Amino acid sequence: MPLTASVIDDLKKVAGRDNVITAPNDLRIFERDGSIEGAVPDAIALPSNTEQVAAVIKIAARHNIPIVPRGAGTGLSGGAVTIRGGIALQMTRMRRILEIDPVGQTALVEPGVVNQELSLAAAPHHLFYAPDPSSQKACTIGGNAAENSGGPHCLYYGVTTNHVLGMEVVLADGSVHWVSGDAADRIGLDLCGVLVGSEGTLCAITKIKVRLLRIPPSIATLLAAFPSIDTASQAVSAVIGRGIVPAALEMMDKVTVGAVEAHYHAGYPTDAGAVLLVEVDGVADSTRELMAAIRDVLSENQGYAMREAQTPAERDLLWAGRKGAIGALGRIKPNYYLHDGVVPRSKLPQVLSAVGEIGVHYKLPVANVFHAGDGNLHPNILFDLRDREVLQQVEEAGEEMLHAVVELGGALSGEHGIGLEKSAYMPWIFSPDDLEVMSRVKSALDPTGLLNPGKIFPDPERKKLPLAGRTGFAVEAKWW
């Protein structure tokens, strides 16, 4: 139901007349994120400070209106989609870096600060912010905290929650709180840990204190080719099995390599069945020794055409190809459906084989580009959204891929979140008691259920029967 004129007037009073959007054509800009589903909000509020955020949430609470915090819209699980209508709380105007403390190695930022901009601002102090999603040139620190985002270097450095020290948040009643994990010997519950990764369902984030790290004095980056995904997967397990944990260990299959090389001309070997991009950092002697050991392991596992970046520019080009890989796939099809299930590294060959079989079954091209070091898959199902009949096939194929992940002992998400896209599948890995405990936390912080409704938990208003025996992946079917 559209918002009343009085509610819109109230929003304009607290956020500013030019900071509330209600025109139908303008609202469509905010109907989706990076996932394949969309829903038009009833209004957009663009607050500039914490006080305005709190005031907007109080208005929503008073009138029983759903409210969905939103960052840059780069999320890939439908977390920012307003499936119940209501107000999209667009946080990107809150983009100040409030403080960089070079001694304490911390930064205090507003949620709309773009990920890469924080590292650029910290660089003069010889510091950087470690979490680096592939969308880091566009995604925001607030969105990263909401989704607990990862990135290629999370293998060694950890995901967002490992770098957030504290946050200022606004709860569903409009109250403002600081939750902090600064002290290693803190007592009580780790509320900051609960809120990071809660996908906007428990709070709106208005400030974030993050840990910064020293820029390593030496970085070595290696590209290696392999005859197949299987041999590359075996090489990944072999590297970790030797006790070596690189800063990054990324894989791309032949389809992805072809698209990336055509766009970036980074020197990726297009004859390879798969390539690995490996990076180590630290002091110079250490990186040389580690990279030499990694070369030996890769050679023992059919690695060939190994090329180490000789200059920062060459390293940047190799990484540009990896981080721009999903965009480069647009050369094949204009749209993609991307999942991020996680499996044990030893299960990579099996799950990638299943992903390939599912793509063949549905006659859909699939490109794999993913964080191989920690088993975080990113199968991209490529399609053309203008062909409306193909969308159901795409969704069914994605569902089967996720189920293959779960059957092999994996998890539904490594860094993209559950959101709207995977909420129906939560009973695959959580018992009713598990889900009940989680819902109690939600109810304690958001009693009326107005903060980002319909996300993470199975949604009675969007009932969907789980996978039941398609292409050999069977699971007990149940309604919830």
pLDDT of residue 468: 34
CA pair distance 455, 467, nearest whole angstrom: 20
Tokens of 129: 């912010």
- Cα angle, residue 136 at apex, residues 391 and 81 outer, rounded to 5°: 40
pLDDT of residue 182: 66
Annotated domain spans of the chain = 5-90, 97-214, 218-329, 333-472
Please name every residue paired with 224 in a beta bridge, in sequence order, or none if there are none.
276
pLDDT in tens, 32-67: 999 988 999 999 999 999 999 999 999 999 999 999
How far apart are the two ends of the chain, measured CA to CA in Å? 26
Same fold, 5-90 and 218-329: no
Q: Is 336 exposed, middle or buried (0-12, 13-18, 19+ CB in 10 A)?
A: buried
Sign (positive/negative) of CA torsion 254, 256, 262, 266?
negative
pLDDT of residue 385: 87
Residues 6+ apart with CB under 8 A from 455: 78, 79, 199, 200, 201, 418, 419, 420, 423
Q: Which CATH number fits domain 5-90: 3.40.630.30, 3.40.1190.20, 3.40.50.300, 3.30.43.10?
A: 3.30.43.10
CA pair distance 412, 456, nearest whole angstrom: 11
Q: Is 16 exposed, middle or buried (0-12, 13-18, 19+ CB in 10 A)?
A: middle
Please name every residue paired with 301 in a beta bridge, in sequence order, or none if there are none.
none
Domain 333-472 has CATH 3.30.70.2740: yes
pLDDT of residue 187: 73
Q: Which CATH number fits domain 218-329: 3.40.50.10420, 3.30.565.10, 3.30.70.2190, 1.20.1090.10?
A: 3.30.70.2190
- For residues 172 and 447, the answer to whether their CB atoms sit within 8 Å is yes
pLDDT of residue 96: 98
Look at residues 469, 432, 86 and name the one whose alpha carbon lies nearest to residue 458: 432
- Classify 97-214 by CATH class: alpha beta
pLDDT in tens, 170-226: 999 999 999 986 665 667 788 999 999 999 999 999 999 999 999 999 999 999 999
Low-confidence residues of the chain: pLDDT under 50:
465-480
CA pair distance 123, 129, nearest whole angstrom: 9
